[in-house]
Amino acid sequence: MMELPSLRDVVNKYELMAKKSLGQNFLLDQNITDKIIRLSLEAQRKQDFNTDAVYEVGPGPGGLTRAILKANPKRLTVIEMDARCIQIMRDIQEVVGDRLHLIEGDALQYDFTADALADKHIISNLPYNISVPLLTMWLKNIQAYRSLTLMFQKEVAERIVSEPNCKTYGRISVLAQLTCRVKVLMNLNPSCFTPAPKIWSTVLLFLPQENTPAPETLRKVEKLTELAFGQRRKMIRQSLKSVPNLEKICADLDIKTTARAENLTPYQYLQIAQKI
């Protein structure tokens, strides 16, 4: 890793201006990227990733990539669409060899679960414009992973960890909390990034729950939350009126049909899903 040029030199060499269309904001401070990996490992009570497969989406100039490689993963797979960043990853490959595997393409189309290695982690400063679709995709197959260490816009992170009866509580809150224990690792000032975004960012760690709902049940939860939060100002007797036997299901579960979407806990959405 000592053979690699500084991140600033890399950005200058490839004239790497972040593209708004790709949701890019680059993190060039190696102290911060190293801290993200250190905090993630400490929270998981791990020393390194030496037996694990790690995935990174949108590595950009490679700051987080370098920090992950310092943690000695058995293999690091990076998924990138930007041709400029792909060349940067090839430069890193020349130094670290086969430990770095490069996928050129769209992360939303990539099958992360196909890897034969049992211990899989995803670590990424997610492109802002696809962060929630990517998270949703991973949460639906969360048992395929040991952990997700992901950076979001702070307002998105607040939605993910939000509790019932809050304005920020919504569909992604329910799905994330039904499938994972979610821990805030750190918040980052806009000045940490190039270019500086208008808002803060937050790094979250997702650790799979021991018992997660079956995929079919999660699909029902998704549908329920789509209906309920799609009309969040209405009582669920109205927003969920298309659910068969809703009144009886809610009576059996001691859930008031006069409640609104944000009043139901993730577990209550799960209970309803299990009854339909």
List, edge to edge, every strand of the sheet that includes 201-208: 100-104, 75-80, 53-57, 120-125, 147-153, 201-208, 180-188
Structural contact between residues 230 and 205, judged by C-beta atoms closer than 8 angstroms:
no
Cα–Cα dist 148/29, whole Å:
21
CATH class (in words) of the domain with range 215-275: mainly alpha
Which pLDDT score, from 0 to 100, does residue 42 have? 98
How many residues would you count in the chain? Answer: 276
Residue stretches of the chain with pLDDT short of 50: none
Helix (H, G, I), strand (E, B) or coil at 207: strand
Looking at residue 60, its pLDDT comes to 87
Given this model, what pLDDT does residue 160 score?
98
Instruction: Quick: pLDDT tens for 261-275.
Output: 999 999 999 999 999
Break the chain into its structural domains and give their ranges.
7-208, 215-275
Give the model confidence (pLDDT) of 160-171 as tens digits.
999 999 999 999
d(CA 180, CA 147): 9
Instruction: Return the CATH number of the domain spanning residue range 7-208.
Output: 3.40.50.150
User: Fold match between 7-208 and 215-275?
Assistant: no
